[in-house]
Amino acid sequence: MILKYLAKPSMFLKFAVLCGVACCALNGAQAQEARIGYINSQRIVNEAAPFKAASAKIKAEFGKRVQDLQDMDARLKAMQAKLEKDAPVMSESDMNKGQRDLIELNKEFQRKQRELQEDLSQRKNEEHETAFGRVNKVIQQVAEKEKYDLVVQDSIYHSARVDITDKVLKELDAGK
């Protein structure tokens, strides 16, 4: 089909003008720049009100268990130190009983520590999921309000001109 236009000079001229107009129209459409925003997710996690509230909630919820585990660890170390110190003057049966008690306490300590880590991890994930939901809504609101076409997180490089982290943090703090 293009060969038909190229065979006649007048048609070639019309075809060339048409292509030129199409290229100009495309360049005009591309001249409008996309607005891009950048979010520093580490700053959001460290500074945003929802994450601070989640952290305080978790600390209050697990504080007693953590303290109990620390107390148990101190008892375990004290028991081991006493056993080592008194070993030369202890009878064999007392030494065996002390070692069994130490082993049992250590097993209980490790079990409680494992349970605490699992429960703590689960609760952190739950709270962070809730906080991320709130953060994502605020990011979307800021992007729509300021007419951003794209918002990215954790890029290899970004200029300060596109960083909207402070705006998002400000909105999050305002909407406590």
Q: Name beta bridge partners: 37.
A: 151
Which tokens hold the place of 148? 């951003």
Sorted by where each starts, the structural domains of the chain and their CATH numbers stand as 30-174 (3.30.910.20)
What are 39's strand-pairing partners?
153
Query: Full-prediction pTM beyond 0.85?
Result: no
Amino acid at 123: R
- Asked if residues 45 and 154 have their Cβ atoms less than 8 Å apart, the reply is no
Query: Tens of pLDDT along the chain (176 residues)?
Result: 444 444 445 544 444 444 444 454 445 445 578 899 999 999 999 999 999 999 999 999 999 999 999 999 999 999 999 988 988 888 889 889 999 999 999 999 999 999 999 999 999 999 999 999 999 999 999 999 999 999 999 888 888 999 999 999 999 888 75
DSSP 148: -
Name every residue whose Cβ is closer than 8 Å to that of residue 51 and which is 6 or more positions away in sequence.
Answer: 44, 45, 128, 131
